[in-house]
Amino acid sequence: MNGGVTTPGRLSAALGLLCAVLAGLSLLVGSAGAGLPGGAAGGLILWQIRLPRTALALLVGGGLGLSGAVLQGGLRNPLADPGLLGISGCAVLGAVLAFYWGAAQRFAPALPLAGLAGAGLGGALLLGFAGRAPSGPSLILAGVALSALAAALLALALTLAPNPFALAEITVWLMGSLEDRSLLHLALAAPPVLLGCAVLLGLGRGLDALSLGEATAASLGVPAARTLRLAALGTALAVGAGAAVAGGIGFVGLVVPHLLRPLLGQRPGALLAASLPAGAALLLAADLLVRLAPLALPLNQEPRLGVLTALLGAPFLVAIARRAAP
């Protein structure tokens, strides 16, 4: 049951290499054309436009992939995902409230902090619910309800926002986008995302113990409650700040663990190290496609990032549902 065809270390290294290759490609693709941007403004385009976008795709994707692996292990549910559970939606709602009413304009860190607060609140609500119904479909349903509530409040907030363009920007927040982000966004998102990833990466033993049942986990000295609290905290950090600058990108956290299990086996702790670079590579690849689309197709703007991840993720969800059906 636990056997995989490769080791987490070897797979992580290979995925890290894939990330490096994709990052190199990513620096070569933009609306100014393919290849290294030349001319007097070449450096500016490379460092101020393409670099922050590339780094954010890796960070946000890594945070989503790792959170998905931890949530699926901790909640013992193959459908757990920060997007599906409404944690991303709550983070986006927090960020929107901080952005459109000017708080982030006066104090830039208000944006990621509000994202963290939203994600933290969403995580706490789910955790409270999980205390009563620790796993199974009811938790996913609670997450779906939370996600719908967050989306409705997001639409309401953007309707009430004082800037007339706000409502038209709902797709950016619901589907996610990394278009025209700057080094400031990178500086705001990186510390919490990295801290969250560090917390989540340390949960391997706790998740493995939890997979044997809560009583066994407690007897092994890693109580389930502590593991779940740290999982919620780490997810809020890793997802909240990312969603604050990139919007709610769905399905990355859902898909990544399922892609890795055939290679690494079922043990939740074994998935963690590889799910970080896998999520990063997946989101960066999606963002590359999003940028290539207007160069190849008659589009006057990029499709949203979440459109691509949903095109990949929704069939995946169906496949999981079919496998789970009796």
Partner 1 sequence: MRAIALLLALAAPARAAERVVSLNLCTDQMLVLLAPEKVAGLTPLARDPALSYVAAQAAGLPVVRPSAEAVLGRRPDLVLATSFAAQTTLALLEQSGLTVLRVGLPADFPVIRAQTRHLAAALGVAERGEALIARMDATLALAAPRLPPVRAVLWGARGYAAGPGTLGDAVLRAAGLEDAGAGGRLDLEALVAHPPDLLVVPTAPRFPSLATALLDHPATSGITRVAIPPALLICGGPFTARAVRLLAEPPGR
| Phi-psi group of 6: left, alpha or beta (phi > 0 → left; psi -120 to 50 → alpha; rest → beta) | beta
Dihedral pair phi/psi, residue 72, rounded to 5°: -65, -35
Q: In this complex, which beta carbon is closest to partner 1, that of residue 64 or of residue 104?
A: 104
Near partner 1 by CB under 8 A: residue from 31, 159, 216, 219 = 31
* Identity of the amino acid at 316: F
* Identity of the amino acid at 121: L
Near partner 1 by CB under 8 A: residue from 187, 301, 311, 324 = 301
Here the tokens at position 260 are 């890795």
* Identity of the amino acid at 241: A
The reply on whether position 304 binds partner 1 by CB under 8 A is: no
Instruction: State how far the Cα of 90 lies from the Cα of 8, in Å rounded to an integer.
Output: 32
* Identity of the amino acid at 112: P
Footprint (CB under 8 A) of partner 1, residues 173-192: 180, 182-184
Which string of b and e fits 91-121 if b means at least 16 CB within 10 Å?
bbbbbbbbbbeebbeeeeebbbbbbbbbbbb
Stretch that binds partner 1, among 76-84, 133-141, 162-170, 196-204 (CB under 8 A): 162-170
Tell me the closest approach of the beta carbon of residue 173 to partner 1, in angstroms.
Answer: 9
Stretch that binds partner 1, among 3-11, 38-46, 194-202, 272-280 (CB under 8 A): 38-46
Stretch that binds partner 1, among 85-93, 98-106, 234-242, 314-322 (CB under 8 A): 98-106
Tell me the closest approach of the beta carbon of residue 221 to partner 1, in angstroms.
Answer: 48
Tell me the closest approach of the beta carbon of residue 20 to partner 1, in angstroms.
Answer: 23
Tell me the closest approach of the beta carbon of residue 117 to partner 1, in angstroms.
Answer: 19
The reply on whether position 37 binds partner 1 by CB under 8 A is: yes
List, in order, residues 6 or more apart from 261 with CB less than 8 Å away.
271
Instruction: State how far the Cα of 85 lies from the Cα of 283, in Å rounded to an integer.
Output: 19
Here the tokens at position 183 are 């080094």
Near partner 1 by CB under 8 A: residue from 20, 34, 44, 187 = 44
Binding interface with partner 1 (CB under 8 A):
30-33, 37, 39, 41, 44-45, 48-49, 99-102, 104-105, 161-166, 168-169, 172, 180, 182-184, 300-301
